[in-house]
Structure 1
Amino acid sequence: MSSATIALARSPRRHDLDWIRVAAFFLLILYHVGMLYVSWDFHVKSPRIVEAIQPVMMLTNPWRLTLLFLVSGAATRFLADSFAARGGRPGARLAGSRLLRLLPALVFGMLVIVPPQSYFEVWHALEDMGVAEPAASPLLQDFWVRYATGSGGWCDADGCLTTPTWNHQWFIAYLLPYGLIVAALIAFAGPLIRMAEGGLETALSGWGLLVWPVVWFALLRFTLAPLFEITHALTDDWYNHALSFSAYLFGFLTARSERLKTAYIGLRRPALVLAVLSWAGWATYAWIYRADGAVPSDALRDAMRVVYAVDQWAFMAAILGYGARYLTHGGPALRYLSVGVFPFYIVHQTVIIVAAHFLMPLSLPVALEALVIVGVTFAGCFMVYEFARRLGWLGLVLGIRPPTGKPD
């Protein structure tokens, strides 16, 4: 291993990226609570839809998960460098680490965490069809066995519920192959990684940091997005893969770049202005054409593809710039939360759906109901995290491994 690689491995971790990762996961909890109350599809819906919050939801819609993939790629870089600093085969160690951290959580999530979501999804579908006592319906008898064996037969006019499923844990299902691909690149294409890092630093100098990522996102919107609807099914999700893996790889390749960190800081204000303007344009467009029969012209649709791409990257660049400028300190809170956000992610959507199912019949004021669900969700996430920390190696099923003093 070269001395340059060792120097990189010993450089300090980026606290700003850790804080952004924590904030992005917390924001996701709020977003999924909001999904109960907008007209978009979700597993369980409130009978009281509040369309007015949809533009607010669109504030994060184009970029929140892409940002999570970017910071996850950056976290993978720090992990890979820590393996490299210890010698041996960092690519193989990274592959083993990703399998150990992600596969048990994914399998456990699909078989234990996600089934309540599907159960209440079927429950509410039965209610919508006029079934007075959904719990007594034959469709919900022996639910877990039917869920695990894919024999539920849960179909309606919109299609069938395929099980077992990973629902929101598709993010984990995608992180696993992405991490293994990067591990293979480390093992077999180290010089290519170094060339890509240098090429990105050169291409993204100055205003290129704002221009070229927008060009990439716009290219994806014009080419793959019209052909491949986002499915979260792994095997046929090509637009989503091109978007998410490119962000993950970008985060991996740029996480150590002080030059780009400085560029983000310098461009944070114009990036924020672009972000707000593009969000206003996209949200207005989506609001005007939200009805099924409202069809925009081809020219307007093409223009909005560009606006959407600007929205995607400008918000991410602004967040990375302001984070690099102000989120410079670590500490016990960050260490605690940066580990905790993974179990938070694993369980949060199930807590949201279960809490909503039991709270909605109380007919609380909508704002109060939403606040209670948010509070219950965060409380449930912290409880699961504390529980997982005490499980030793069994905590892997909830995204926690016992501390070893070594990278994981």
Structure 2
Amino acid sequence: MMKRQYDLDWIRVFATLAVFLYHCSMFFNPFPWHVKNNQLDSGSILVFSLFIGAWIMPIFFAVSGISVTYALKNRPVTAFFKERLIRLGVPLVFGVFILTPHQIFLERIANRQFNGSFLDFLPHYFDGIYLDFGGTGNFAFFGLHLWYLLVLLVFSFLTIPIFKKIPISGRFSLVHLWLLPFILFASGLFKTQGLGGWDLVFYLIVFIYGYYYFSSEAFKNNLQATIKIHMTLALISSAVYIVWFMKAYPQPGSVEEIIFFAVRTINCWSLLLGIFFLADKYLSFTNRFLKYASEASMPFYVLHQPVIVLLGFFIRDLSWPIPVKLIFLISISFILIMIGYHFVVRRLSLLRFLFGMKAARRKNKAQATYSLHK
């Protein structure tokens, strides 16, 4: 049995919270999104969006790759596939048919692409494939923000033959810390589908690296020896990337765009290493909060965007200042999500299943009696 890395649980929890804040910022920044505020911010909110967007989805795929290492150690491949279908496939399907239609409806209403009630819109939800913001298709087969679950499910099935054929060697030399950025940069030559700021090939490489190398104890040792370099690169590349983006985004196909992508890649990689180092150093422990938050992370992820879009739609045209709307959107959305999770989702077996949670543990009668008289 492999020793559980609690730092990975902390990373997953904080990354889920970061995604929540990122999508709240999408309501205000200049990037296209489902519903936008009547005033946009190209200052501090945009800076926040750029910084979080640089690493947030890659860290999810890196941690997911590490998690596969543990999953395959503790169960056969058939059980792994079954677990993936239940933990990822079920909430994905639930999200596509239950949590996504109203988001598309609100987007169409906000962009004046549809007139009528939500019930009037429902039959049109299957009209065409939804491909991007403001498009004409309505059926979002990937569940909008739940695309991560779909891609992770596909990656899990595609890579199992590789993982089983090429075992983990347990070796991790310093060369891997410098090799991956070049591989990730080279992945820019392959254009498949961009999601969450990066291409699918980029995510696949990070996922595979997570399985083979980030799970190695030698990785932590080598990272500790070179962390000052990576943290310095993280600070410099973050500043260069954000300022360059805000001042003059390079023309597509230009040499400047290639250099810009190299800066982004270095920024993402160095930030990932910094996060892994800090989590290993300060968060290698567990407590009651982590146990609760770890279990809540998947339902929270599934629920957060549907709530943000709905709440944002109703406040988008109000005359409130942006800071007031931002505080309102973050606080009320968080409260609604947590109330829904704590008092409804986690207490009902069917909803636990639909949100990809494990069945609730039940004390046997003897344990219950002992607890009662203790």
TM-score (norm 2): 0.88
Tell me if 1:178 matches 2:155.
yes
- Determine if contact 1:101/1:399 at 8 Å carries over to the other structure: yes
What is the alpha-carbon distance in structure 2 between the residues aligned to residue 22 and residue 311 of structure 1?
Answer: 22
- Determine if contact 2:131/2:140 at 8 Å carries over to the other structure: no
Corresponding residue to 1:402 among 355, 359, 372: 359
- Determine if contact 1:70/1:251 at 8 Å carries over to the other structure: yes
Tell me if 1:19 matches 2:5.
no
Alpha-carbon deviation of 1:382? 1.6
Alpha-carbon deviation of 1:256? 3.6
Equivalent residue pairs, number: 359
Gaps of 5+ in 2: 363-374
C-alpha spacing 1:266/1:376, structure 2 compared with 1 (3 Å): farther
Deviations 1:211-254 (A, max 9, x none): 11111111112x12xx445158xxxx9x7221112212222223
3-state SS in 2 of match to 1:60? helix
C-alpha spacing 1:95/1:184, structure 2 compared with 1 (3 Å): farther
Aligned to 1:356: 312
Aligned to 2:139: 163
Corresponding residue to 2:42 among 34, 46, 51: 51
Letter in 2 for 1:28: V
Aligned to 1:38: 29
Alpha-carbon deviation of 1:210? 3.3
C-alpha spacing 1:184/1:404, structure 2 compared with 1 (3 Å): farther
Tell me if 1:376 matches 2:353.
no
Aligned to 2:111: 125
C-alpha spacing 1:271/1:118, structure 2 compared with 1 (3 Å): same
Letter in 2 for 1:91: V
3-state SS in 2 of match to 1:361? coil
- Determine if contact 1:16/1:327 at 8 Å carries over to the other structure: yes
Corresponding residue to 2:101 among 115, 131, 145: 115
Gaps of 5+ in 1: 1-9, 84-89
3-state SS in 2 of match to 1:400? coil
Alpha-carbon deviation of 1:262? 1.9
C-alpha spacing 1:106/1:274, structure 2 compared with 1 (3 Å): same
Alpha-carbon deviation of 1:359? 2.2
Alpha-carbon deviation of 1:161? 2.9
TM-score (norm 1): 0.81
Corresponding residue to 1:391 among 348, 361, 368: 348
C-alpha spacing 1:296/1:253, structure 2 compared with 1 (3 Å): closer
Instruction: Give identity over the alignment, percent.
Output: 22
Letter in 2 for 1:106: L
What is the alpha-carbon distance in structure 1 between the residues aligned to residue 158 and residue 257 of structure 2?
Answer: 35
Aligned to 1:87: none
Aligned to 1:194: 168
- Determine if contact 2:16/2:301 at 8 Å carries over to the other structure: yes
What is the alpha-carbon distance in structure 2 between the residues aligned to residue 390 and residue 99 of structure 1?
Answer: 22
What is the alpha-carbon distance in structure 2 between the residues aligned to residue 156 and residue 254 of structure 1?
Answer: 34
Tell me if 1:63 matches 2:55.
yes
